[in-house]
Amino acid sequence: MNIFEELKARGLVFQTTDEEALVKALTEGRVSYYTGYDPTADSLHLGHLVAILTSRRLQLAGHKPFALVGGATGLIGDPSFKDAERSLQTKETVQDWSNKIKDQLSQFLDFENGDNKAELVNNYDWFSEISFIDFLRDVGKYFTVNYMMSKESVKKRIETGISYTEFAYQIMQGYDFYNLNAEHDITLQIGGSDQWGNMTAGTELLRRKADKTGHVMTVPLITDASGKKFGKSEGNAVWLDADKTSPYEMYQFWLNVMDEDAVRFLKIFTFLSLEEIAEIEKAFDASRHERLAQKTLAREVVTLVHGEDAYQEALKITEQLFAGNIQELSAKELKQGLSNVPNVKLEAEADRNIVEVLVSAKISPSKRQAREDVQNGAIYINGKRIQDLDYVLSDADKIDDELTVIRRGKKKYFVLTYA
């Protein structure tokens, strides 16, 4: 099975400009290719990971990747399938975000070894040197307004309005391909399926201006079985930055994917062989309640993105929280595992009696209910059941001298911090 056949088998090929020609190029020699990432935030997310890992697979097959950070296009904003104009960011912000994205990409692509080691490029480097007049004369003249308006990404915005800034975005992306071909002999661009119009603008410019043929391959935009998209614009982003989405949160995300998606995601997001995945699928189908596919997916992706230690920590937090063993976890681990539960700061002068704490922290709605909760055994402090109405929280109840975890009933957790 050649690399293109494997990509198709994994569900990673959505569209190509000329599949036969692309397969020929990939099987007959080394292809230089690129994927672009606009710095529209200070981190990439799981939606980007599909193209990143596809780029890595091609590198492992001997081809040479270029990672393009859009320091210039990030200042403009891509209109593709957006309902409204993007908010423009300052040059300083875009530069800062560009640097962070460069660091993240180096986790996945090999920039150090071999003749096909990856290279980083930033389109601000060439756009900052082009005058507006030169760009119109040397690039703009190769695009007709009719051609530009035929793009689906533009059509969807015509009715609501699109600025010339975003309208011209496709020309800028097209020039990226042209410039990279001239400077680095890059002949293939990879990106998400929503970028098809922008990407083919590059092959059009190559054909018209340089009489050359370029290839485009898009990967699918990943949705779950309910049709929900992975992406920050959908409000459900899982970020690659551990400070924005902790390894534990990422682990839980994969652990909770639907059965219908689990095996498909193993093919897309992991480097397990197709044969290994087929064996996992058999065991998974025989006993779905054990969630083997989800557990394998969570292990592989968290390890890939954050490393083995982060995976082990996420696994430990998951297991100990499930068992209620709060005292087995550090404050750092609890902050990850309980990041989404109510966090209440206890003032220095506050009464530390358990009943008073339950009411002041809004864990119980009234003193009467708080007393009942304690007496009925529904209150746990750091995993230990408390039934004494006269119990007073002390420094001994602080985990790592930072926080206390109170549980009411089986699942309602609250984190107390101290002023």
- Consult the annotation and say whether 169 binds a ligand: yes
Query: Which residue type, as a one-letter code, is found at position 255?
Result: L
Count helices and strands in the chain by DSSP H and E runs: 19, 11
Dump the DSSP string for 283-313.
HHHH-GGG-HHHHHHHHHHHHHHH-HHHHHH
- Consult the annotation and say whether 175 binds a ligand: no
Q: What are phi and psi of 365, to 5 degrees?
A: -75, -20
CA distance to 143, 149, 211, 214, 263, per residue, from 146 (Å): 8, 5, 21, 22, 43
Query: Residue-wise over 121-146: b if at least 16 C-beta within 10 A, else e?
Result: bbbbebbeeeeeeeeeeebeebbeee
Contacts of 319 (CB under 8 A, 6+ apart): none
Q: Find, among 374, 387, 381, the residue nearest to 405 by Cα.
A: 381
| Angle in degrees, 0-180, between the axes of helices 292-306 and 308-323, rounded to the nearest 10 | 140
Both structure tokens of 107? 């986790």
Distance CA 131, CA 287 (A): 63
152 CB neighbour count, 10 Å cutoff: 12
261 CB neighbour count, 10 Å cutoff: 18
Q: Is 377 exposed, middle or buried (0-12, 13-18, 19+ CB in 10 A)?
A: exposed
Per-residue H/E/C for 328-349 = HCCHHHHHHHCCCCCEEEECCC
Distance CA 363, CA 371 (A): 12
- Going 127 to 133 to 139 to 140, the CA torsion angle's sign is positive
Number of Cα atoms under 13 Å in the Cβ half of residue 88 = 9
CA distance to 7, 203, 275, 369, per residue, from 265 (Å): 13, 31, 15, 46
Both structure tokens of 284? 């998974």
**SS3 for 190?**
strand
- Known binding residues: 34, 169, 173, 232
Q: Which residues are annotated as a binding site for ATP?
A: 232
Residue list for the binding site for L-tyrosine:
34, 169, 173
